[in-house]
């Protein structure tokens, strides 16, 4: 999924609306801002993100969608997409009906609510990180979250996982500049916190990285 530049003949971004499956190439939109309530996608393969662009070009990515994620779950609450969603890699996704919350029940919906709940929780954690943490803590948080989310989906291999993000994308996720992301990653590498090369991430010491991310409670000098 990382670099498989699959040259597709069709420039159509979506298959016919009656179809369940869709796929997208990097930079293609899964949803546009203020668009009509389209379907909700479940990502089957690849990465996507939601973001907002400020008038002067500053960009902040506000959610990352990995395989298994719904995209975007909170539309089911009645909102319209207020931010575009774009593919970061090649993406395979499944189109799901956009159900109102009161009309839902059953097993699949249970998973869906949990997914929404998780997204809110992650989002809240990022408020703390963006508001109060240092560059290194921010990047550590991101890489750790990626690894752990992928691990939950069985997409890690020992201490490793795919990491297709460019440093500029990492910057837009962490609220830093690409240059500073670069320098921060170098520090993390020399400290042995991460190994990151050729779009693969290896985390030698998960505990140390958690410590560096200052995520939840941890013992520190009193």
- Give the residues lining the site for DNA (CB under 7 A): 1, 5, 7, 134-136, 166-168, 175-180, 182-183, 185-186, 198
Task: Measure CA 94 to chain center.
Answer: 17
- What residues from 25 to 64 belong to the interface with a second copy (CB under 8 A)? 52, 54-56, 58-60, 62-63
d(CA 196, CA 142): 13
Beta strands in the chain (DSSP E): 21-24, 29-31, 40-45, 48-53, 59-65, 70-71, 85-87, 91-96, 160-162, 195-197, 200-202
CB of 176 to DNA, least distance (A): 4
CB of 1 to a second copy, least distance (A): 6
Do residues 200 and 161 make contact, with C-beta atoms less than 8 angstroms apart? yes
What is the Rg, in whole angstroms, of the alpha carbon atoms belonging to the chain? 18
57 vs 158 by CB, closer to a second copy: 57
14 vs 83 by CB, closer to a second copy: 83
Three-state SS at 28 = coil
Convert residues 109-148 into a mask of x (bound to a second copy by CB under 8 A) and - (unbound): x---xx-xx--xx-xx-xxx-xxxx---------------
User: 144 is written with which tokens?
Assistant: 């750790």
Positions in the binding site for a second copy (CB under 8 A): 1, 52, 54-56, 58-60, 62-63, 74, 77-79, 82-83, 101-102, 104-105, 109, 113-114, 116-117, 120-121, 123-124, 126-128, 130-133, 174-175, 214, 216-220
């Amino acid at each position: 999924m990382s670099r498989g530049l699959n040259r597709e003949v069709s420039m159509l971004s979506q298959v016919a609306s009656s179809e369940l499956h869709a796929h997208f190439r990097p930079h293609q939109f899964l949803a546009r801002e203020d668009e009509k309530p389209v379907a909700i996608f479940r990502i089957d393969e690849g990465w996507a993100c939601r973001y907002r662009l400020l008038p002067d070009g500053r960009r902040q990515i506000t959610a990352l969608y990995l395989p298994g994620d719904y995209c975007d779950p909170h539309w089911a609450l009645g909102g319209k997409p207020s931010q575009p969603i774009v593919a970061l890699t090649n993406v395979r996704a499944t189109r799901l009906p956009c159900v109102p919350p009161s009309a839902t029940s059953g097993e699949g919906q249970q998973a869906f609510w949990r997914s929404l709940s998780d997204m809110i929780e992650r989002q809240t954690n990022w408020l703390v990180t963006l508001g109060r943490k240092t560059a290194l803590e921010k990047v550590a948080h991101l890489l750790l979250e990626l690894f752990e989310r992928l691990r939950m989906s069985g997409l890690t291999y020992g201490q490793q996982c795919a990491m297709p993000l460019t440093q500029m994308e990492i910057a837009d996720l962490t609220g830093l500049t690409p240059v500073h992301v670069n320098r921060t990653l170098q520090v993390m590498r020399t400290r042995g916190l991460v190994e990151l090369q050729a779009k693969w991430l290896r985390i030698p010491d998960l505990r140390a990285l958690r410590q560096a991310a200052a995520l939840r409670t941890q013992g520190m000098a009193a």
